[in-house]
Amino acid sequence: MPAKKKPTTTLSMLGIEPYKEKKGEEYMNEKQLAHFSAVLEAWKAQLMLEVDTTINNMKDATHYADPADRASQEEEFNLELRTRDRERKLLRKIDKTLKKIEAEDYGFCESCEEEIGIRRLEARPTAEQCIDCKTLAEIKEKHFGT
């Protein structure tokens, strides 16, 4: 029987242990804010490292004479640049989230102002809505195409 594959999460990719809540602990206390700040800073550092790697790879690229090889290389660069563009948007979202932590406004739904929840934030540290509001927004988007 094959071993169970561990799920790949943001925390596991960063080598950070999930936050262990204590019974009766206040939501978004200093320890929790520090934990999520560390998660976001580590994630940001990892993304910046990938940007540097991409830049170095593109600088050191071989110039192929064969048109097919050149086309393959250009397609790889295009894919890489699209990925970096998505990550650039994610970096902005991480910075916005870090500012919310500084303002102690992190962890609450922007729609209903209820707690987003530790587990949801562990899965998606930049979440701005609780699961109920996000699900409702996705249903509306799917139905109305907005």
Which residues contact residue 123 at a Cβ distance below 8 angstroms, ignoring those fewer than 6 apart? Answer: 9, 10
* Residue 131: pLDDT band with limits 50, 70, 90: very high
Domains and CATH numbers, the chain: 29-59+66-144 (1.20.120.910)
Residue 146 has pLDDT above 80, yes or no: no
Mean pLDDT of the chain: 88
Residue 65 has pLDDT above 70, yes or no: yes
Q: What is the pTM of this model?
A: 0.80
Segment 67-88 shows an average pLDDT of 86
Closest CA to 107 of 53, 36, 22, 20: 36
* Residue 66: pLDDT band with limits 50, 70, 90: confident
Please write the tens of the pLDDT for every residue from 94-127.
999 999 999 999 999 999 999 999 999 999 999 9
Q: What is the pLDDT of residue 84?
A: 86
